[in-house]
Amino acid sequence: MKNSIAIFIFLACTSVFYGQDEKSMNNFDSNFAHTVYFWLKNPDSKEDCKAFEVSLRKFLDHSAYAKTKFIGKAPKASRDVVDGSFTYSLIVSFESSEAQEAYQKEAPHLLFIEESSKLWTKVIVYDSKGIEHL
C-alpha cells in the first residue's frame, strides 16, 4: 500500500513539474524516434486490450520526456510487405538520445511495464535518429 501511494505521489509530481501538455506531446521531434510493437497474449480479449490501453495512455500522459504519443493497431494488410501480425504499436519521439535513455528509467514507464508486461508475449523496438542529426 505504501509503495502504491509513493508511486501515485511521484506520478502526480512528475506530471505537474515535468509533464508535457497535449500540444507538445503531439509534436513529432525528428531527433529521435522510438517505435515499439506489442503482441498481446490474448489479442481478442476486450478486457486485456482495455487494460493495456489504459496503462499505456496513463504512462504517456505522465511521461516527462515523450514528445509524441501515437498508439496504433495493425490494419488489415493490403500488401505482402506489410506486417500486420502485431496487436499494438507505439511511436514516441524525443529531443535527444539522452532524453530517450531517461525515459527508459522514469517511473511512469517502469509502472507501465509492471502493469502490462503480463499481457504481452512479444515486444520489438526500433529506435532511429534523424539523419539530419547524425
Query: What's the confidence (pLDDT) of residue 68?
Result: 82
**E strand or H helix at 90:** strand 88-94
Query: What's the confidence (pLDDT) of residue 15?
Result: 37
Residues 6+ apart with CB under 8 A from 65: 94, 99, 100, 102, 103, 106
Query: What's the confidence (pLDDT) of residue 82?
Result: 84
pLDDT tens for 29-88 read 568 889 999 999 999 999 999 999 999 999 999 999 988 889 999 888 778 888 899 999
Query: What's the confidence (pLDDT) of residue 79?
Result: 85
pLDDT tens for 110-127 read 999 999 999 999 999 999
According to DSSP, the residues that pair with 71 across neighbouring strands are 90
Burial class (CB in 10 A: 0-12, 13-18, 19+), 65: buried
Q: Which domains does the chain have, with CATH numbers?
A: 2-129 (3.30.70.100)
